[in-house]
Amino acid sequence: MSVAGNVLIICYGNPIRGDDGAGWRAAELLADDPRAVGAQVLARHQLTPELAEDVSRASLLVLVDASEEPGVAGSVSVYPVPDSPKAGSAFSHHVDPTHLLQLAATLFGQSPRAVQVSIRVADIDPGTALSAPVEAGMPMLVDAVIDLINQHRQRCA
């Protein structure tokens, strides 16, 4: 088992749509953060079926993205991935978090505990810069992911 207890962090979004690129920025920060040593950090445009094998090998999956849900731009939410998927097929070029877990379980026999960490956006217009509120919220997002890793490490110890 790795130092982080077999943690997989998938950060996703569109890095050329302003705040939707927050997942990519989070991936950079987490990859350089010594508190996340041992965790595997991936940056992707979206969740795809090809990730199911990596997901099946993890004991904790942390998904990091930008959210357009109402709220204060730059605020961070942490919540478990639901057990029941939204309507739609899990076999397409894009899957939601629940479908990804179901694919891992169906194709590879297991899926991990999964948590979503999202930061609320201010601007998703074309561009590579994050808005000031989202940039200011990135340390809080990284700390939320690190807290999840630490809790997982304690459970695995």
Q: Which tokens is 37 given?
A: 């040593």
Q: With 0-12 CB in 10 A as exposed, 13-18 as middle and 19+ as buried, what is 87? A: exposed
In the chain, where the domains are located: 7-156
Instruction: List, for residues 15-72, the tens digit of each pLDDT value.
Output: 999 999 999 999 999 999 999 999 999 999 999 999 999 999 999 999 999 999 999 9
109-112 CB contacts, 8 Å cutoff, 24+ apart = 109/56, 110/56, 111/55, 111/56, 111/61, 112/6, 112/8, 112/55, 112/56, 112/58, 112/59, 112/60, 112/61
Q: Which fold has domain 7-156?
A: Rossmann fold (3.40.50)
CA angle 157, 57, 92 (to 5 degrees): 140
Instruction: Match 């999840």 to its residue by tokens.
Output: 148
For residue 38, the model assigns a pLDDT of 93
Is the pTM higher than 0.75? The answer reads yes
